[in-house]
A = this chain, B = another copy of it.
Amino acid sequence: MVDELTVINMFLEVLGQPRRLFSYIGDDVAWTRKAVKRDKFVIKVDMLVGKTDVPRGMTLRQAARKSVVACVSDFACKGVKPWGALVSLGLPKGFNEEQVLEIVNGFKDARNEFDIEIVGGDTNEASDLIIDCIMFGWGKNVIRRDGADADEYVLVTGDFGLPPLGLDILSGKKKIRSPRLVEKALESVLYPKPRLNFGLVACNRKLVTASIDSSDGLVLSLYEIAQHSRVDILLYELPINENLKNYGELSEGEKREYTLYGGEEYEIVFTCKPKDAQKILEVGEETDTPIKIIGRTVDGSGKVYFKGEVLEKKGWIHFK
């Protein structure tokens, strides 16, 4: 089996990094300055596959919206406003018009919610449901993964742990007695909310030094920043969701696993200079976005520590 990182590395070995005017491979989005005055052109693709990315209990309308959310979240953490999207569909043979209409309405939901245009696409027959969303836009600054220095703060929007719990509830792997926790966990999976407003404002005010979205899990996101920026990250506290934290019937180990290694969150994991922390918290208030300072960067070589202990680098890598 070949995982995503291996595929990326094979592309890099055979093709090298792009030669002209283009960004390096290995960030959340690709960008270029070709033919634009000051604005960088930014583009991103995210493929949703029915059998692996659409849990039981998620409607097609929610799945289509989610495929857009995955792209919007990457634009949000880079501080770039998304402008338009293409939709490339693979539809199983048995799909009927009602099902397609559900997908179309999911794109309408996303279009209205994020103020983008759906400008084109492609349709094919495939064994799985495939929803490949391509998003593009323009931005003056694209916040990279490698911009963190030592002695900066490490922050997150929102909190962690609910979406992976929600997935386990949907798949029947976990039974949870608290109706409130079930409701919150399912909502976080079925109707994820990317942090677009916060990302745009915070990045445009140049308050963010490095940034990534957390869709592959908190620890993997922290490792990406640490390794690209060549710093170590010391975590002070885990940004665990309150409802999850207070639920007595899960062990501390399970809660920690959900928080650190879950994935499917669309939060922003980022760094800022200490002098800008107050301004960041203000942007959080302006945009109704909870912000937590969870750690700091120190001189180092790309490791992530919690209470003196190196956290295992793992997360949601496709095919693993």
Contacts and interface: CB of A to CB of B under 8 A. Distances in A.
A291 to B, nearest CB: 29
Contacts of A2: 91, 95-97, 100
B52 A14 contact: no
B122 A47 contact: yes
Interface stretch (A31-39, A237-245, A273-281): A31-39
Interface in A1-27: 1-4, 6-8, 10-11, 14-15, 18-20, 22-23, 25
Contact of A101 (B10, B104, B136): B10
Top 3 A-B pairs ranked by shortest CB distance? Answer: A30-B120, A127-B127, A30-B119
B22 A84 contact: yes
Given A34-B83, A124-B318, A127-B128, 17 more contacts: A2-B95, A2-B100, A10-B101, A11-B118, A14-B105, A15-B111, A22-B84, A32-B83, A32-B119, A41-B41, A43-B119, A47-B122, A47-B130, A51-B127, A126-B126, A126-B130, A130-B132
B120 A89 contact: no
A275 to B, nearest CB: 32
> How many subunits of this chain does the assembly comprise?
2
Contacts of A90: 47, 49, 90, 126, 128, 130
Given A22-B84, A118-B15, A1 B134 contact: no
Contacts of A235: none
Interface in A218-268: none
A83 to B, nearest CB: 6
Contact of A45 (B6, B10, B132): B132
A7 B52 contact: no
27 contacts: A2-B100, A7-B89, A7-B123, A8-B123, A10-B104, A11-B104, A11-B118, A14-B105, A15-B104, A18-B117, A20-B117, A22-B119, A32-B83, A32-B119, A34-B138, A37-B37, A41-B41, A45-B86, A45-B134, A47-B89, A47-B90, A51-B126, A88-B88, A90-B90, A90-B130, A125-B319, A127-B127
A200 B46 CA distance: 30
Contacts of A29: 120
Contacts of A87: 11
Interface string A149-183: 00000000000000000000000000000000000
Interface size class of A (residues with CB under 8 A): 35 or more
Contacts of A101: 10, 14
Contacts of A41: 41, 136
A117 B6 contact: no
A120 B134 CA distance: 11
A108 interface: yes
Interface string A49-78: 101110000000000000000000000000
A121 interface: yes
A8 B101 CA distance: 11
Contacts of A96: 2
A26 to B, nearest CB: 9
